[in-house]
Amino acid sequence: MPVATADSLVHRLSGAADEARAAILAGGHHVVHGAPGTGKTTTALLTFTEWVRQDPGAAVLLVPTRRRAAAVRDQVSARLQRTTGAVLVRTPASLAFTILRLRASHLGEPAPTLVTGPEQDQALAELLAGHAEREGAPIGWPESVSRETLGLRAFRNELRDLLMRAAEAGLDGEGLTAWGERHHRPEWCAAGRVLTEYTQVMSLGQTTPDRGARYDAATIVDEAVLALRTWEDTVPDVPRPRWSLVLHDDYQDATLATARLLDTLVDDGARVAVFGDADLAVQQFRGGVPALLHTASLPPGRDGAWGATEHVLDDVHRHPAAVREAVTSLTASLPSMAETRRRRARAEPGDGRVRAVLLSTDAQQVAYIARHLREQHVHADVPWSQMAVVVRSGSLVGAVRRGLRTAGVPLAMATPDRPLRDEPAVRPLLVSLRCAITGDVTPEDAAALLVSPIGGMDAVGVRALRRALRQAERRRAGSGTPRTCSGSCSNPPFVASACVWRRTNCRRRGSLMAQLAQMARMVRSVRRPRTRGTRGSSNAWPFRRRTGRCPGPRGAQCPDRPAGADRGPRRTRWPGGHRGDSALGDLGDRRAQPHMATAGARRRGWWGPR
pLDDT in tens, 52-103: 888 777 899 999 988 899 899 888 888 888 777 777 899 999 999 999 999 9
Q: What pLDDT does 131 receive?
A: 83
User: Distance (Å, rounded) from C-alpha 166 to C-alpha 346?
Assistant: 41
161 lies in the same domain as 45 = no
163-173 mean pLDDT: 86
Asked whether residue 40 is marked as a ligand-binding residue, the answer is yes
Q: What is the pLDDT of residues 420-442, one digit of tens each?
A: 776 777 788 788 878 777 777 78
- Whether residue 127 sits in one domain with residue 9: no
Can you tell me the distance from the alpha carbon of 19 to that of 26, in angstroms, rounded to the nearest whole number? 10
Own/partner contacts of 301-306, CB < 8 Å, gap of 24 or more, are: 303/256, 303/259, 303/260, 303/263, 304/256, 304/259, 304/260, 304/262, 304/263, 306/29, 306/262, 306/263, 306/266, 306/272
36 is in an annotated binding site: yes
φ/ψ (deg, to 5) at 44: -65, -40
Opening angle at CA 43, ends 41 and 46, nearest 5: 110
Q: Tell me the mean pLDDT in the region 5-17.
A: 58
State the pLDDT at residue 515: 64
Residues 475 and 397 in one domain: no
Domain count for the chain, please give it.
4
The residue among 580, 561, 564 whose CA lies nearest residue 572 is: 580
Residue 250 pLDDT: 92
Note whether 187 and 262 are same-domain residues.
no
Q: pTM for the full model?
A: 0.67
Quick check: is 237 in a domain? no
Query: In the predicted model, what is the mean pLDDT of residues 496-503?
Result: 46
Least confident interval from 314-318, 398-402, 484-488: 484-488
In a domain, 58, yes or no: yes
State pLDDT tens for residues 561-576: 444 444 444 434 444 4
Q: Is residue 73 domain-shared with residue 157, that is, in the same domain?
A: no
Within a domain: 226 = no
Domain assignment present for 354: no
Q: Output 392 or 342, whichever has higher pLDDT.
A: 392
Kindly state whether residues 553 and 450 are assigned to the same domain: yes
Average pLDDT of the chain is: 76
Residue 602 lies in a domain: no
The pLDDT > 90 percentage for the chain reads 25
Task: Kindly state whether residues 196 and 285 are assigned to the same domain.
Answer: no
> H or E stretch including 312?
strand 309-313
Which of 187, 211, 235 is the last residue before a domain boundary?
211
Last residue of a domain, one of 211, 226, 258: 211
Sequence-ordered list of residues with C-beta below 8 angstroms from that of 81, at least 6 positions apart, any chain = none
Q: Was 39 annotated as part of a binding site?
A: yes
In a domain, 544, yes or no: yes
Q: Are strands 89-90 and 315-316 parallel, antiparallel or unpaired?
A: unpaired
- With 60 as the cut, is the pLDDT of residue 578 above it? no
Same domain for 454 and 546, yes or no, is: yes
Residue 107 inside a domain? The answer is no
pLDDT, mean of residues 259-278:
93
Instruction: Compute and round to an integer the Cα radius of gyration of the chain.
Output: 29
pLDDT at 471 over 50: yes
Which of 169 and 514 is assigned the larger pLDDT?
169
Spatial distance between the Cα atoms of 383 and 386, rounded to a whole number of angstroms: 5
Indicate if 455 and 555 belong to the same structural domain. yes
Q: Are residues 152 and 193 in the same domain?
A: yes
Q: 346, 373, 397: which is the final residue of a domain?
A: 346
**137 appears as a binding residue in the annotation:** no
Residue 34 marked ligand-binding: yes
425 and 406, same structural domain? no
pLDDT at 317: 80
| 41 annotated as belonging to a binding site for a ligand | yes
Under the banding of pLDDT at 50, 70 and 90, the label for residue 519 is: low
Q: Is residue 100 part of a domain?
A: no
The domain of 549 spans 421-564
**Predicted pLDDT at 84:** 74
pLDDT tens for 301-357 read: 889 999 999 998 888 887 788 888 888 777 777 776 666 777 777 777 777 788 889
Same domain, 472 and 535: yes
